[in-house]
Amino acid sequence: MIRYVLTLCVHAFLLGVGLLAASCAPSTADPPQSTQTPLRDEIALFSGRDCTDDNVGLTHGAPGQLIQFTTNDRFQNDAARSLLIRRLRRGTVIRLYDDPAGNTRDDWVEILVMQQVEGYCVNSFENSFEDITIGVNFSGIDGLDGEVSLMTVDRAVVELQPGIESPTPAIQPTVTVTPAPIPTLTPPPEIPPIAEAACIPTVIQGEFATVSKVVDGHTIDVLIAGGNFRIRYIGVDAPEVGEPYFNLAAGQNAGLVEGETVTLVRDVSHTDVEGRLLRYVLSGNQFVNYELVRQGFAMASTNSPDVACSQTFVEAQNQAVSEGAGLWTLIPTPLPPTDTPASVPNIQIISIYFKGEVLSLESDEFAQITNQGLIAVNLQGWRLNAGDPEQDFYFPNFMLAPGLSCRIYTDESHPEYCGFSFETGQEIWNNAGDCGYLYDNEGAQVSKYCY
C-alpha cells in the first residue's frame, strides 16, 4: 500500500485588492470535540482557526440546507474561523458567506468534498487550495474568518477525482485525515496547443471525459471513470429548451462534441449553483466554448470569478455579429409597418430573465432590449421600468445600432452586453409574473413585455 502525506500547497490568485497567496495545508492538531450530540455525518464550526476554541455551530451533511446565523440559535453569527467535516459524502458543497443574504460581492468561500474521510479540518476560510480530499475557493475583499453569517449545504451533480475510491473509514479516537490508497491513474491531459485556448489557466490540470449526451447549446453530460457528470460550459450562453433557435444551437454543439473524448479544464469555481461542473471544453483541435460563440450559436457571458477567457469570448462574439454568423444572420430585423417612416426608432423589450441564479439577490436577472428598426438610436434619457414605482433604469448617452441588443441587469455589470445595471442590491423581477415597460426620452411608452 502506498502511504503518503498531504503536502503543503500554495495557490495565488488575483483579487480586486491585490495578490493573495494562501497556504493550504490542513491542520494536524486534534480539533476539540463538539459538546453537542454527535451526528453520523457533520459539519462543525469553530471560533478559532485550525478547528480550535469554541464550537459555534453544528449541523449534518444533508443537502438543501440554508442556515442564516443571525436567526438560528444553534449558530453564532460572525464567530466561525474554521470548519471540521466528518464523513461527508463526495460531492458535498458547502458555501459560507459574509453577507446574510448571500451576496457574492462580499466575502464568501466554496468548499467541495472530493473524498470521504473520517475527519478533516479546513483551518481557515481565507485560503484557496485543492488536495485529494477537498477543494476550497475563497473570494474576498477584507476577510471571512470571524465574519460568517450564512451557510448553505448542497450536492454537486458530480464527484471530482475520477478513479479514486473513498476508503471505508475506521472510527478513530481522535480526528485524523485517513489517507486513501491511490490506484494508477491515466496522466492528466495537456491542454491542446490551440491559439484561442491560450486564455485557459495552465496551473489547473485537465481531465479526460467522454460525451454521453448533449443537453443544449452550453450543457453536456459526460462519462468520467464510469460516472455520468453534467458539465456547464464556462463563459457562454446558448438558447435553452423552449427558446428560439434551441435546436440549432444544440445541434451545433452536438456536431462539435457528441460521442467525443474531450478535455475538461476548470477556471476558479468547481460548480455552479445547480451543482453542474463549470468547465472549458476542448475536443480535438477545437476550443468548444470559443467555437460556439465564434460560429454565432452562443453569446459571450461573463460570470465572476471564472473570467480567464471572457475577453476572448467577447472578441469572438463581436466578429460573429459583424459577419452575421450562425444565429446572428437568422435573428429578424423586421421592416417597420408601411405607414411608419423608416426613420422612426423601433426599440423593443424582447425578453426578461427573471429567475436569477445568484442566491437570494438574483442580481443576474436582466431585461433585454433590441433595436428592431433601420436606424441607430441614442438611448440617452430613455427609461426602463420594472413594474413598480422607483424601479427605473435611465439610459446614459448610448447609441444602439440596428439589429443589436443590450441587457439591463438587476445588480451586475456586463460590458459585453452594454454594461447597464439597475444597481438595486435586491431582486426586482417577480418570479410569479411581472411586466417591463420601456419609455423614450419624451416619456412615451414604446414597448411592454409581460411574462
Question: Which residues make Cβ contacts (< 8 Å) with residue 299, sequence separation at least 6?
Answer: 236, 237, 238, 293, 317
- The upper half-sphere exposure of residue 147, i.e. CA atoms within 13 Å in the direction of its Cβ, equals 16
Question: What is the per-residue pLDDT across 22-33, written as a single tens digit (0 to 9) for each?
Answer: 333 344 334 444
Average pLDDT score over the chain: 78
Q: Map 340-372 to HEC letters.
A: CCCCCCCEEEEEEECCCCCCCCCCCCEEEEEEC
Condensed to tens digits (0 to 9), the pLDDT of residues 345-391 reads: 889 998 888 888 777 778 888 999 988 877 778 899 999 999 888 89
Q: How confident is the model at residue 392 (pLDDT cuts 50, 70, 90)?
A: very high
Residue 7 corresponds to which cell in the numbers above? Answer: 503536502
What pLDDT, in 10s, does the model give residues 49-106? Answer: 989 998 899 888 888 788 889 888 889 999 999 999 988 888 888 999 998 887 777 8
Which residues, 6 or more positions from 441, have their beta carbon under 8 angstroms from its beta carbon?
Answer: 380, 381, 382
Decide if 135 contacts 112 (C-beta within 8 A). Answer: yes
- CATH fold of the domain at 10-155: Gamma-B Crystallin; domain 1 (2.60.20)
How many angstroms separate the CA atoms of 90 and 169, rounded? 13
- Give the β-pairing of 227-233 and 277-283: parallel
Q: Say which CATH topology domain 195-329 has.
A: OB fold (Dihydrolipoamide Acetyltransferase, E2P) (2.40.50)
Ordered DSSP codes for 111-132: EEE-S--S-EEE--SS--EE-S
Q: What percent of the chain has pLDDT over 70?
A: 80
Q: Are 135 and 120 in contact (CB under 8 A)?
A: no
- 159 touches 227 (CB < 8 A): yes
Q: Which residues contact 36 (CB under 8 A, 6 or more apart)?
A: 55, 58
Domain boundaries, the chain: 10-155, 195-329, 347-450
Contact 95, 142 (CB under 8 A): no
Q: Please tell me the distance from the alpha carbon of residue 302 to that of residue 364, in angstroms, as a whole number.
A: 11
Q: Judge whether residue 192 has pLDDT over 50.
A: yes
Confidence band of 16 (pLDDT split at 50, 70, 90): very low
Q: In degrees rounded to 5, what are phi and psi of residue 129? A: -160, 170
Do 347-450 and 10-155 fall under one CATH topology?
no
Mean local confidence (pLDDT), 156-173: 41
Residues 103, 31: Cα–Cα separation, whole Å: 30
Of 178 and 300, more confident = 300
CA–CA separation, 215 and 247 (whole Å): 10
The CATH number fitting domain 347-450, selected from 2.60.40.1260, 2.70.98.50, 3.30.70.3450, 2.102.10.10: 2.60.40.1260
DSSP label at residue 334: P
pLDDT at 331: 56
Strand positions, DSSP E, 225-316: 227-233, 236-237, 261-265, 277-283, 286-287, 299-300
Q: How far apart are CA 151 and CA 120, in angstroms?
A: 18
Instruction: Name the residue with cell 441614442.
Output: 378
Q: DSSP per residue over 400-441, as a string? A: E-TT-EEEEESS---GGGT-EE---SS--S-TT--EEEEE-T
Q: Which amino acid is at 448?
A: K
Residue found by looking up cell 461527508 in the block: 88
Residues 324-346 as b/e (b if ≥16 CB within 10 A, e otherwise) read: ebbbbeebeeeebeeeeeeeebb
Long-range contacts of 284-289 (CB under 8 A, 24+ apart): 284/192, 284/260, 285/192, 285/194, 286/194, 286/256, 287/194, 287/196, 287/197, 287/200, 288/233, 288/253, 288/256, 288/257, 288/262, 289/233, 289/234, 289/235, 289/236, 289/313
Residues 135 and 83: beta-carbon distance below 8 Å: no
Structure confidence at residue 20 (pLDDT): 30
